[in-house]
């Protein structure tokens, strides 16, 4: 089902276009479409899939100081890694702002909040957004194509574990490891 059939998609698109660069808007649209393409097999509501995909990077435009300021305004718990690398806060801050501005559902809120790191016991919409954000079709790195192939050939659980392994490896290379990234991977390994 196309994005435009989601009742609030026009409003969301209009708002993300006001905030984000064209390439980021395009990433959000592809994330929403890709997520919506496999969400029926996971019993995920179509409108929630579109909302999570379109809005997940709503605060990707904010500078480090602004993210820290917003995090303090919303009284978000801050980890050492988030203080060192405030870009990690773009999900949590977006979840809060979208909750306030659009009245998103609890599922969409959770998915947006945790889309960068994941967390143990993350709900299915959050897991699906985590995969779609990493591997939507315009992502250029080879691991994105591998994740899409895993999803097609081996199924969602296998693709999710692969994405979590890859994200953890990337974090190790950048030497920025949020504790939730590692905890999510360990949780997934125990599920499989
Ligand atoms: Fe993001
Ligand atoms: Fe993203």
> Cβ–Cβ contacts within 10 Å for residue 171, how many?
18
Asked if residue 190 belongs to a domain, the reply is no
What pLDDT digit, counting tens, does each position of 19-46 carry? 999 999 999 999 999 999 999 999 999 9
Asked if residue 186 belongs to a domain, the reply is no
Asked if residue 153 belongs to a domain, the reply is no
What pLDDT digit, counting tens, does each position of 109-138 carry? 999 999 999 999 999 999 999 999 999 999
pLDDT-based confidence at residue 147 (cuts at 50, 70, 90): very high
- Would you say 109 and 98 are in contact if contact means Cβ atoms under 8 Å apart? yes
The gap from C-alpha 11 to its chain's centroid, in whole angstroms, comes to: 20
CATH code (residue 95): 1.10.3210.10
Average pLDDT, the chain: 96
Centre of ligand 1 to C-alpha 63, Å, is 14
For the chain, the domain total comes to: 1
Whole domain around residue 33: which residue ranges?
Answer: 3-140
Asked if residue 33 belongs to a domain, the reply is yes
Asked if residue 39 belongs to a domain, the reply is yes
Asked if residue 157 belongs to a domain, the reply is no
Centre of ligand 1 to C-alpha 115, Å, is 6
Asked if residue 34 belongs to a domain, the reply is yes
Q: Is the pLDDT of residue 3 over 90?
A: no
What pLDDT digit, counting tens, does each position of 48-72 carry? 999 999 999 999 999 999 999 999 9
What sign for the dihedral angle of Cα 111, 129, 24, 50? negative
Centre of ligand 2 to C-alpha 75, Å, is 23
Centre of ligand 2 to C-alpha 186, Å, is 23
Cα distances from 89 to residues 63, 80, 133, 137, 153, in angstroms, run 10, 12, 16, 25, 33
Asked if residue 152 belongs to a domain, the reply is no
Centre of ligand 2 to C-alpha 33, Å, is 13
């Amino acid at each position: 089902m196309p994005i435009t059939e989601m009742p609030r998609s026009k409003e969301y698109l209009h708002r993300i276009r006001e905030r984000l660069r064209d390439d980021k808007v395009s990433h959000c649209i592809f994330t929403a479409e890709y997520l919506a393409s496999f969400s029926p097999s996971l019993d995920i509501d179509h409108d929630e899939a579109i909302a999570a995909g379109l809005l997940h990077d709503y605060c990707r435009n904010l500078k480090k100081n602004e993210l820290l300021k917003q995090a303090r305004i919303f009284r978000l718990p801050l980890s050492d890694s988030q203080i060192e690398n405030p870009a990690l806060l773009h999900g949590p801050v977006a979840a809060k702002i979208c909750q306030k501005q659009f009245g998103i559902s609890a599922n969409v809120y959770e998915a947006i909040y945790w889309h960068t790191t994941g967390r143990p016991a993350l709900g299915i919409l959050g897991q699906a957004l985590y995969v779609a954000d990493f591997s939507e079709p315009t992502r250029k790195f080879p691991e994105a194509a591998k994740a899409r192939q895993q999803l097609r050939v081996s199924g969602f659980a296998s693709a999710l574990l692969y994405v979590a392994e890859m994200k953890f490896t990337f974090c190790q290379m950048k030497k920025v490891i949020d504790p939730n990234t590692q905890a999510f991977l360990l949780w997934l390994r125990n599920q499989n």
